[in-house]
Amino acid sequence: MAKADADSAKPLFDKIALIGIGLIGSSLSLAIRRRGLAGMISGAARSKETQDTSLRLGLVDAIESDPAAAAKGADLVILCSPVGTFGAIAKAIGPALDAGAIVTDVGSVKTAVIDDVAPHLPDGVHFIPGHPIAGSEVSGPEAGFAELFDDRWCILTPDAKTDADALSKLVHFWEQCGARVDVMDAKHHDLVLAVTSHIPHLIAYNIVGTASDLETVTESEVVKYSAGGFRDFTRIAASDPTMWRDVFLNNKDAVLEVLGRFSEDLAALQRAIRWGDGEMLFDLFSRTRDIRRNIIDAGQETPVPDFGRRGPKSPEE
């Protein structure tokens, strides 16, 4: 497949427009260039700094501040900005889109995005929401790299009316970017991601907030002794605040549902500690080991142990 594409004179898309050039937008650009998936890449960024950086790094062939100008004539438009901006962007680009163009996004929530975007797109434009499960705590156009999506999952959430050819082309696009593609219902996506991503971020933000606010333990003590476990939470609690504010505002129902379960389970653990129920604690602590093994087996984590992240068996440095 890769060879056939390389030999082919015609790229998969004539013009791909990236609306928003942060970690995901810049990585997409590099993944697109790696396989020659676009005749040209146009980008839209609000800040002059991001515009300049995008041109300097060769992430785009043309950069615009107006999303509509970037999207004009594109046969693939990818929304890569925080999900809170999608409604206004869709409204702006709608009139500029050609019939047959595919519009997708990389947002972490899907039902709210569909509500915000779909009404603004003209008939004949194929809107297929998407979400690559890849990223890090680092933001901005200089953080991107071509391999970000390799072996990661990308979820697409078409509906019953989605054009089969357009869907097939978008699946192929993501596969060429290195990802494995799953298709599911938007509502189910939002629930799954509430569990695997949104609640973990919320909890991480919360414990870091609680620790900073304690009167009886200083922040300098928290920092010094963070290797005891706290440190693991600070990575995702350093994620982009705007992006995550928008995620929680736009996936309220699923987040509150899973959070209710989390709090209920935590209350049961609290009770077990208060009453000294060692058996209940041991049972939970034993079965949570298995899921990590499964994650490692599935290639979504490395088995390299974390000895303070500096030991000889953890070659990070």
| Residue ranges in 234-293 that form contacts with a copy of itself under rule CB under 8 A | 234-239, 241-242, 244-246, 248-249, 252, 255-256, 258-259, 261-263, 265-267, 269-270, 273-274, 276, 278, 281-282, 284-289, 291-293
Order of strands, sheet of 180-183, starting from the edge strand that comes earlier in the sequence? 130-132, 153-156, 180-183
Asked if 36 and 62 count as a contact pair (C-beta separation under 8 A), the reply is: no
Q: Is the Cα torsion angle 82, 87, 88, 89 positive or negative in sign?
A: positive
Q: How far is the CB of 26 from a copy of itself (least distance, A)?
A: 12
Least CB distance from residue 218 to a copy of itself, whole Å? 9
Closer residue to a copy of itself, CB minimum distance, 95 or 273: 273
Q: What tokens were used for 254?
A: 């699923």
Task: Name the residue nearer to a copy of itself (CB basis): 10 or 313.
Answer: 313
- Binding-residue total with a copy of itself (CB under 8 A): 117
CA distance 169 to 22: 24
Q: Does 152 bind a copy of itself (CB under 8 A)?
A: yes
What are the two backbone dihedrals, phi and then psi, of residue 315, each rounded to the nearest 5 degrees? -75, 55
Closer CB to a copy of itself, 67 or 178, in the complex: 178
Of the candidate spans 29-37, 63-71, 110-118, 231-239, the one that interacts with a copy of itself by CB under 8 A turns out to be 231-239
Q: Interaction with a copy of itself in 96-135: which residues (CB under 8 A)?
A: 108, 133-135
Between CA 255 and CA 153 the distance in angstroms is 21
Which is nearer to a copy of itself, 50 or 197 (by Cβ)?
Answer: 197
199 forms part of the interface with a copy of itself (CB under 8 A): yes
Interface pick for a copy of itself out of 30, 40, 55, 195 (rule CB under 8 A): 195
Q: Which stretch binds a copy of itself (CB under 8 A): 1-9, 13-21, 89-97, 189-197?
A: 189-197
Query: How near is the Cβ of 71 to a copy of itself at its closest, in Å?
Result: 27
Task: Select from 10-18, 121-129, 160-168, 185-193 the region that touches a copy of itself (CB under 8 A).
Answer: 185-193
Q: Which of 50, 2, 60, 3 is nearest to 29 (CA)?
A: 60
**Any contact of residue 204 with a copy of itself (CB under 8 A)?**
yes
Q: Are 77 and 101 in contact (CB under 8 A)?
A: yes
Figure out which of the listed residues 92, 153, 163, 172 binds a copy of itself, where binding follows CB under 8 A: 153
Q: Give min distance, CB of 281 to a copy of itself, in A.
A: 5
Instruction: Give dist(CA 255, CA 190) in Å, integer.
Output: 8
**Residue 153 three-state SS:** strand
Nearer to a copy of itself, 12 or 148 (CB): 148
Residue 33: Cβ within 10 Å count = 14
Q: What is the DSSP string of 99-116?
A: TT-EEEE--S-SHHHHHH
By CB under 8 A, which span of 4-12, 59-67, 157-165, 217-225 interacts with a copy of itself?
A: 217-225
Residue placing its CB nearer to a copy of itself in the complex, 69 or 272? 272
**Contact flag: residue 310 with a copy of itself (CB under 8 A):** yes
**C-alpha–C-alpha distance, residues 81 and 83, integer Å:** 6
Closest CA to 262 of 211, 207, 222: 207
Report the nearest approach of a copy of itself to the CB of residue 114 (Å): 19
DSSP string covering 176-222, please? HTT-EEEE--HHHHHHHHIIIIIHHHHHHHHHHHHHHH-SSS-HHHH
